[in-house]
Amino acid sequence: MLRSLKGLYHLLLAAAANVRYGFPSRKITVIGVSGTDGKTTTTTLIYEILKAAGYKTSMISTVNAVIAGKTYETGLHVTNPGPFELQKYLRAAVDHGDTHMVLEVTSHGLSQHRVFGIHFSVGIITNVTHEHLDWHKTFEHYLKTKLSLLTRATIAVINRDESELYNKAIPLLRRKNLITYGIRREAMITPQTYSFTTKLPGEFNQYNCLAALAVASALEIPKKAAREAVAAFAGVPGRMEIVSREPYTVIVDFAHTPNAIDRALKTARESAKKRLIHVFGSAGLRDAAKRPLMGKASGRYADIIILTEEDYRTENVETIMDDIAKGVDPGPQIYRFPNRRNAIGFAIKIAQPRDVIIITGKGHERSLARGKRECPWSDTEAVKKSLKLLS
């Protein structure tokens, strides 16, 4: 009932916003990027490729928005902007003479009709794994919602290695211009058919790069410009961001799903000469079913797990940590600190040379939801302060 009412509210707003701003998406090439993980990096990579190819381009991502040459912070707890703000951004880009808009599209934005009326020239889905079931209720509904981006786009781009996603999508895309990418299965865009180099670590970033290159191919962007943009791209704040390399490596990452934690920790594990220390929590009043899965993913790679708060809202932090701990198989040492600053400080204190600390869940975000308040927060700044106190 709540979902239906909220969807209707945003649908009416979106219809009014399209009329108010003159249906701006009809006058610009809009690329929509969705998926459980990898959306922001892929969105930004596409934006950089388009700029390198000489196109005037705007972008809206979870980290920031670049509209008509101006940058706006979007680092709080947001999905897609509301319909009026979104259409206003599109109109500003069109009036500025921009030819392309890269838009990160969330399942909430699709489900609540926030992106209603937007003509997507290209739609891409990176992957669909366990997330947001507090809203979507079932994985099938979540997957169906994600796929709706591809069905409304002129060109559909999809990860061929995501078997369940691909098999569900194909019957819906028979009349679409379809472009596939992947590493393990036969696809149109692969490291063999479209070679590239990247500074970004991990196999998951190989997929992000391939996704962006698949879009470049769909838009007929010269390969030289696309490859150069991918090679030069240094990453997005809060995405496998190395905050310190001495006396040990400290990484901040946005991973907050079981799949993202698995991928991030697998990459961090490969660079750890000694122990891997993982600091994380899980959001309150959100998908509780994923918590033990997050614990299981962490325990697969971490030697030491430090559980802590992450936007607990009005839920009990201890209960959230209990839920995560249930999924951790015997092996890793587990510590608990309800206060995130104390958790990070403890990790910094116990770490030894050649250890790797990875702090996940907040990434680029600039606030913590405590109770009913948004409190200023930065994982990166907390790491720097703890290192300073230690020295």
Last residue of a domain, which of 232, 250, 272? 232
Say whether pTM exceeds 0.85. yes
Structure confidence at residue 327 (pLDDT): 98
Whether residues 324 and 255 share a domain: the answer is yes
How would DSSP label each residue in 51-96?
A: HHTT--EEEE-SSEEEETTEEEE--SS-SSPPHHHHHHHHHHHHHT
What's the angle, vertex CA 359, arms to CA 356 and CA 360, rounded to 5? 130
Helix axes 379-390, 340-350, angle to 10 degrees: 50
Whether residues 305 and 184 share a domain: the answer is no
CA distance 313 to 373: 8
Hey, which bits of 217-324 come out as E strands? Answer: 241-244, 249-253, 276-280, 304-308
Whether residues 25 and 162 share a domain: the answer is yes
Whether residues 310 and 226 share a domain: the answer is no
The answer to whether 101 and 60 are in contact (CB under 8 A) is yes
Structure confidence at residue 75 (pLDDT): 55
Structure confidence at residue 146 (pLDDT): 86
Number of domains in the chain: 2
Tens-level pLDDT at each residue, the chain (391 residues): 545 666 677 789 999 999 999 999 999 999 999 998 899 999 999 999 999 999 999 999 988 899 999 998 765 455 578 889 999 999 999 999 999 999 999 877 887 888 999 999 999 999 887 565 555 568 788 888 889 999 999 999 999 999 888 999 999 998 899 999 999 999 999 999 999 999 999 999 999 999 999 999 999 999 999 999 999 999 999 999 999 999 999 999 999 999 999 999 999 999 999 999 999 999 999 999 999 999 999 999 999 999 999 999 999 999 999 999 999 999 999 999 999 999 999 999 999 999 999 999 999 999 999 999 999 999 999 999 999 998 7
Last residue of a domain, which of 212, 232, 252? 232
Please name the amino acid found at residue 351.
A
Strand 70-73 and strand 64-67: pairing? antiparallel
Structure confidence at residue 174 (pLDDT): 87
How would DSSP label each residue in 91-160?
A: HHHHHTT--EEEEE--HHHHHTTTTTT--EEEEEE----S--HHHHSSHHHHHHHHHHHHHHEEEEEEET
The answer to whether 101 and 10 are in contact (CB under 8 A) is no
Whether residues 284 and 219 share a domain: the answer is no
The answer to whether 109 and 115 are in contact (CB under 8 A) is yes
Structure confidence at residue 137 (pLDDT): 65
Whether residues 100 and 165 share a domain: the answer is yes
The answer to whether 166 and 150 are in contact (CB under 8 A) is no
CATH number for the domain that contains residue 271 = 3.90.190.20
Structure confidence at residue 140 (pLDDT): 80
Whether residues 208 and 331 share a domain: the answer is no
Instruction: From 142, 212, 219, select the one nearest 177 (Cα to Cα).
Output: 219
Q: Quick check: helix, strand or coil at residue 250?
A: strand
Last residue of a domain, which of 199, 232, 265? 232
Structure confidence at residue 292 (pLDDT): 98
Structure confidence at residue 5 (pLDDT): 67
Query: Which neighbouring-strand residues pair with 356?
Result: 249, 276
Structure confidence at residue 141 (pLDDT): 82
Whether residues 73 and 195 share a domain: the answer is yes
Whether residues 259 and 304 share a domain: the answer is yes
CATH number for the domain that contains residue 55 = 3.40.1190.10
Whether residues 135 and 102 share a domain: the answer is yes
Q: Which domain holds residue 64?
A: 2-232
Whether residues 161 and 17 share a domain: the answer is yes
Whether residues 43 and 181 share a domain: the answer is yes
The answer to whether 119 and 88 are in contact (CB under 8 A) is no
Length of the chain: 391
Structure confidence at residue 130 (pLDDT): 56
Q: Which residue has the tokens 């969330």?
A: 106
CA distance 127 to 124: 9
Kindly state the tokens that stand for 358. Answer: 């990875």
